[in-house]
Chain A
Amino acid sequence: MCEVLLDVQHLTHYFKINSKIKIRAVDDLSFQIRRGEIFGLVGESGCGKSTAAYCLMNIYRPFSGKILYRGIDICDPKAYRRNKKMLQTSRQMIFQDSASSLNGRMKVAEIIAEPMEIHHIRPPRGSLRREAEFQLHYVGMEASYLDRYPSQLSGGMRQRVAIARALTMEPALLIADEPVASLDVSIQAQILNLFKHLQSEHGFSILFIAHDLSVVKYLCDRVGVMYRGRLVETAPSGELFENPLHPYTKALLSAIPCPDPRRERHRVWQEYDPALFEWPGEMVEISPDHLVRKGEEKIEN
């Protein structure tokens, strides 16, 4: 359980707007994902969560820093080429918007089987169609959907097809970029159960990116809170929700809407004023596994 699957060290990624302006999307990001755990990455929009995920998938080439996946530095072109097949099959990504990440001109069966075709993997269940059928069943859909197009499916179903596609490769690491953000509550519950099942039954490691904190609290083992491209706090999820230390985390937690009208009406949410705190400060380990970025204002422990 303690084996480190993915080790991100000082990852930095800039976007150049022009010769003068650079946007630091991800700035000195370091965290680890252990085998078989669900790591949640939360933060407001534009804080660099998705950019970090893209770097981990080799979609963006990071400006500096190291990403070690099973000990292989995936940012090093040589090392990447040598292990290309392993890296491409054992990491899979699920995108936020399933409507645009599925090819509208391919049928569900083709979409799910495509990764196998690309990597010339012989389908373990006989044919590609049988494989697609199996994966579709696995995510809780009937075989009758195999010949549908993505536009004929509802949002929840499309998201499941996207998950099924990622599962065909039986990845060791699944990167899910806001997979439930656009779904209804009842469908969201089904997808979250599926993630939980994947972790407990198949030992998947999952990087779960979200902005809905009640989802993160339910699903994740460890959580990292991002702000302005940097991590401000990482902790086991129980610890983070009971004992948040960084002011930004506190502000974020106080904004979770809770389905209880009497308490909701009196809830005061705290605002985080970045001007009050020294930035960036340094990451300090408070207790085992609980790291906080310390700023000017003292954190009382």
Chain B
Amino acid sequence: MESLLEIRDLSVSFDTSQGELKALRNVNLSLYPGEVLALVGESGCGKSVLCKTIMKLLPENARIKNGRILAAGKDITDYREKEMERLRGRLFSMVFQNPMTVLNPAVSVGEQIGEAVRVRYPKMKREEVLKRVLELMDLTGIPEAEKRCKMYPCHFSGGMRQRSVMAIALACDPGILLADEPTTALDVTVQAQILDLLLMIQKKLKTATLLVSHDLSVVARVADRIAVMYAGKIIETGTSEDIFYDPRHPYTRGLLRSLPFFAEKGEELYTIPGMPPSLTRLPRGDAFACRNEYALAIDYEKEPPMFRISDTHYAATWLLDPRAPSMENISLAWPDMLSGNRPEGGGENSV
């Protein structure tokens, strides 16, 4: 299958007063039509920078050091602002984390959605725009659209606002939807609704979605494939099943293990020791080595390449090298996950 968006060997750096900040280091990623790819990692690992690089919304002190971005077969790496303007909204559009800051509080919601429609169809008549706005509001599950489109963002609840933002993002029928933590600012119940909406839109419009999140449990419901990022690098990619049932990188395992969902009452939660490295002074070798319980000597010398586990599953850790000590010993520390058996206590919530 041909990919809709392909990122090859992309490196992005920021020039700061402390020197060069390597926000992205040799990122490879492809997004296929109709799939949801989730990008997971701690804050500051470069998830949002990747989204902004694709949209070319980076601040001035950032530069693309090397690599290519291919969108729908075209190389857009060197596109100028004017050419990008034509692509934004149509080829890809973005849903941001906080719906409060994205919407203009002084303009009614219907007008804001209409504005996005008019970008795509500048010659559309007024009534047609309104019709399209109502259609979009209907699609994103805003009830009583005729009444609501005259209301202002302050009249909307957080979930409704996020729905309006999604309506704006979908106004120009984008092929790719970049969703940057769309549910972080929301409640559990509303979060579930928005995720379902995302899935529904996905099925209806066949948009390819890049979902950015720091929460692995959010991603489990919607993602087809997952890419885990650490310190500006993608360290593991695979299908949802690969990542959740057979995580190979110690960082991915650490993330999963530290979820309170798996913890037994009374036992201490697992924590990944140490802190993420500063991106201005990255250590030699593997950036995760000093936090890795299973670090090998080579981890401190040389960065691991991506090792192939299966056709869909890749991970960058020296533990997968044939010369490394066998993974069996390490698997023992993680029996529940690897075998796919869950502790009994986790089951009662599924209906």
Contacts and interface: CB of A to CB of B under 8 A. Distances in A.
B220 A186 contact: no
Contacts of B87: none
Contacts of B350: 258, 263, 266-267
A252 interface: yes
A255 to B, nearest CB: 4
B326 interface: no
Contact of A218 (B220, B221, B260): B260
A219 B258 CA distance: 14
Interface string B218-234: 10110100000000000
Contacts of B30: none
B260 A251 contact: no
B100 interface: no
Contacts of A255: 188-189, 191-192
Interface in B254-281: 254-256, 258-263, 265, 268-272, 275
A185 B255 contact: yes
Contacts of A270: 351
Interface stretch (B65-73, B113-121, B138-146, B209-217): B209-217
A155 B184 CA distance: 15
Given A218-B269, A261-B244, A211 B187 contact: yes
Contacts of A242: 348
A300 interface: no
Contact of A259 (B43, B188, B189, B216): B216
Contact of A211 (B188, B258, B272): B188
Given A155-B43, A186-B272, A268-B351, A259 B187 contact: no
A65 B102 CA distance: 41
Interface in B157-187: 157-158, 187
Contacts of B244: 259-261
Interface residues of A, number: 48
B182 to A, nearest CB: 14
Contact of B220 (A185, A253, A260, A272): A260
A131 interface: no
A286 to B, nearest CB: 18
Contacts of A251: 189
A261 B42 contact: no
Contacts of B214: 184-185
A189 B187 contact: no
Interface string A237-263: 110011000000001111111111111
Contacts of B190: 44
Nearest to B243: A261
B310 interface: no
A217 interface: yes
A232 to B, nearest CB: 14
B67 to A, nearest CB: 27
A85 to B, nearest CB: 36
B351 A256 contact: no
B349 A253 contact: yes
Contacts of A184: 42-43, 214
B105 interface: no
Interface of A: 44-46, 154-155, 184-190, 192-193, 196, 211-215, 217-219, 237-238, 241-242, 251-270, 272
25 contacts: A44-B188, A185-B215, A186-B255, A188-B260, A192-B269, A193-B271, A212-B188, A215-B260, A218-B260, A254-B349, A255-B191, A257-B188, A257-B191, A257-B195, A257-B221, A258-B220, A258-B346, A259-B256, A259-B261, A261-B223, A261-B240, A261-B244, A262-B241, A266-B350, A269-B351
Interface of B: 42-44, 157-158, 187-192, 195, 214-218, 220-221, 223, 240-241, 244, 254-256, 258-263, 265, 268-272, 275, 342, 346, 348-351
The 6 closest A-B pairs by CB, nearest first: A261-B240, A218-B260, A189-B258, A257-B217, A189-B269, A264-B221
